[in-house]
Structure formats: C-alpha cells, structure tokens
Amino acid sequence: FFAVVVLLGMSASRLPPAALSLKQFLQRQKVLQIYRTLLRTIRQVPDEADRRYLRDWARGEFRRNKEATNQDAIRMMVTQARNHLEELQKSLALLHMNVK
C-alpha cells in the first residue's frame, strides 16, 4: 500500500509546475476558439486596409492580455471579444445584403 501511495505521489509530481487546471484549460480553449473565429471573420472584410487594421488590432489585444490570470477579468475580456465578433459579423452581413 505504501509503495502505491509513493508511486502515485511521484507520478503527480511529474506534472510541469505550470500545468493548467481543467477549468483553465477549457477557458483557454474558449479564448482560442474566439480568436480563430475572429480572424476568420476578419478575412471576409472586403477592404484590404480595413482587414489589415482589424487583424493587427485583434492580434494586439489578445497578445496584450495573454498573461492575464484574474478569472473575472478574463471572463469580461471573453465577453467583450464575443461582442466585437458579433458586431463584425452583423456588419459584414449588412454589407453583403446591400451588395446583392
């Protein structure tokens, strides 16, 4: 029994010190999904200069907040990113409606 406890303790200590908890991992996946969707949506912007501006803005915002650890702040940033994404998607939908 003691050997099993020691082995379990050893295997747990082999995790990297910066290993994410499940909650952190899921939150990170959510942030990455929003980031990818935002970049894919930006690709649909017709004007190249606007596309470049939006892409640089999105990358800058995500990089600037990359080291955030406060869970409330991260939730707020995720909500803001979703809102920006929805606004961009609505603007593109209106643009496509007017073009037709």
**Which of 75, 74, 57 is CA-nearest to residue 65?**
74
d(CA 49, CA 87): 19
Average of per-residue pLDDT values in the chain: 83
Average pLDDT value for residue range 9-37 = 77
Q: How far apart are CA 67 and CA 69, in angstroms?
A: 6
Check residue 87 and report its DSSP letter.
H
Indicate the pLDDT class of residue 40, thresholds 50, 70 and 90. very high
pLDDT digits (tens, 9 = 90+) for 68-95: 888 889 889 999 999 999 999 999 999 8
pLDDT at 81: 92
Q: Which amino acid is at 71?
A: Q
Q: How far apart are CA 88 and CA 42, in angstroms?
A: 8
